[in-house]
Each structure stands twice: as C-alpha cells, then as structure tokens.
C-alpha cells in the first residue's frame, strides 16, 4: 500500500521493503535477515517501473506489482542458496586442508587456499583486517606459513609481503 499511496517524495520502495522484511522476520522467517531482495529488485529497474505503470493503468490492480516482487524474491532466494552452497564448499575445503595438514589452523588453511586462487601478495595488515584478528595473530599466521614452506616472505619498501611458494607446494591445494 505504501507503493500505491506513495506518501513520501522519496524512499517509498525502501520503506515498503523495510516493512516487508519486518513482517517476515516478526513471523519467524529469520532467513530473510540475510537475503538481499533489494538487490534483486535493483537489478530489474525496467520491470519494476512497468509493474508500477501496469498497476496505475489497470484500475490500480496491484497484482502486477505483487507478481514482480514475488519473482524478485524467488531470484533473491536462489542467489542466497547459491551463496550458502559456495560457502559450505569453501569451508569443507578449508576443513579438509586442516585435517590433511595438522600444522595449520583454519585461518592459515583459508589463506593458503585463497593464495592458490589469487596470486597477489598478502600482508600482515590485510590478514588482520580480513580475519578480524590482532596484528600479532596475523603476523604469527603468516610467519608460521612461511616457516612451514607454504609462503615466501619478501620485503617491499618497509613492509613484508607474502606469496605462495609454488616450487615447494607442500600440499595440492589447487584441486
């Protein structure tokens, strides 16, 4: 109804979606806390506008708008399910790496896997920010990986950078 009444100059869609999310979460549909319906709607601006126009030109029948929102909700749910599956797969790979290489912790296994996919160097500060750990923990993780032969340490300016050591490749992490 907010979309239909349009009480504000701007933000009617966002307000309607906020109320929609609140309604779903208050009715124990807690997954919607993590589902980006707004992104799915934003990715279809033409369909969004047509849904409004069809409503306005068909005796204010909001069926078009409801159908559009349900389609976008379905797209958002599918996207969320793909994200969950990708995360599960990545976590499984990290767990397998820690099991087959008992000297590694979860973060170190993730760092090794990410370095095998992305060949750019990594620094103490990046590890600290990415994993929300102290500088000392980031330092221990990277220096530990260097000591185990997974990474090579280089000095760039006044900062150490670490790259995956492809020559030693202690584990086959590119599977």
Average pLDDT over residues 119-143: 94
Report long-range pairs for 4-9 (Cβ below 8 Å, ≥24 apart).
4/55, 4/60, 4/62
Beta bridge partners of 31: none
Tens-digit pLDDT profile for residues 145-154: 999 989 999 9
151 CB-near residues (< 8 Å, 6+ apart): 112, 115, 142, 145, 162, 163, 164, 165
Rounded to whole angstroms, the Cα distance separating 96 from 114 reads 14
Average pLDDT, the chain: 86
Rounded to whole angstroms, the Cα distance separating 133 from 123 reads 13
pLDDT > 50? residue 62: yes
Confidence of residue 127 (pLDDT cuts 50, 70, 90): very high
pLDDT recorded at residue 171: 52
Confidence of residue 38 (pLDDT cuts 50, 70, 90): confident
Which burial class, exposed, middle or buried, applies to 139 when counting CB atoms under 10 A from its CB (0-12, 13-18, 19+)? middle
Confidence of residue 52 (pLDDT cuts 50, 70, 90): confident
pLDDT > 60? residue 19: yes
Of residues 81, 82, 75, 29, the one with CA closest to residue 48: 75
Average pLDDT over residues 93-119: 88
Average pLDDT over residues 44-53: 87
pLDDT recorded at residue 174: 44
Q: What would the two tokens of residue 60 be?
A: 């204010």
Report domain extents, the chain. Answer: 2-85, 102-164
Range name among 30-34, 43-47, 82-86, 137-141 with the lowest pLDDT average: 30-34
Is the pTM for the entire model greater than 0.75? Answer: no
The answer to whether the beta carbons of residues 153 and 162 sit under 8 Å apart is yes
**CATH number 3.90.1150.10 given to 102-164:** no
């Amino acid at each position: 109804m907010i979309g239909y009444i349009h009480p504000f100059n701007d933000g009617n869609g966002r307000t309607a979606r906020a109320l929609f999310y609140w309604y779903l979460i208050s009715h124990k549909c807690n997954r919607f806390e993590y589902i980006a319906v707004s992104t799915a709607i934003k990715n279809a601006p033409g369909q969004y506008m047509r849904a409004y126009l069809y409503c306005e030109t068909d005796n204010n029948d909001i069926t078009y708008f409801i159908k559009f929102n349900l389609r976008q909700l379905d797209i958002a749910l599918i996207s969320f399910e793909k994200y969950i599956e990708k995360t599960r797969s990545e976590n499984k790979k990290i767990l397998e790496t820690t099991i087959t290489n008992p000297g590694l912790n979860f973060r170190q296994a993730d760092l090794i896997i990410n370095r095998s996919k992305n060949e750019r160097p990594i620094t103490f500060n990046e590890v600290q920010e990415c994993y929300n750990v102290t500088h000392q923990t980031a330092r221990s993780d990277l220096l530990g990986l260097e000591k185990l032969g997974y990474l090579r340490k280089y000095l760039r300016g006044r900062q150490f950078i670490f790259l995956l050591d492809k020559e030693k490749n202690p584990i086959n992490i590119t599977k």
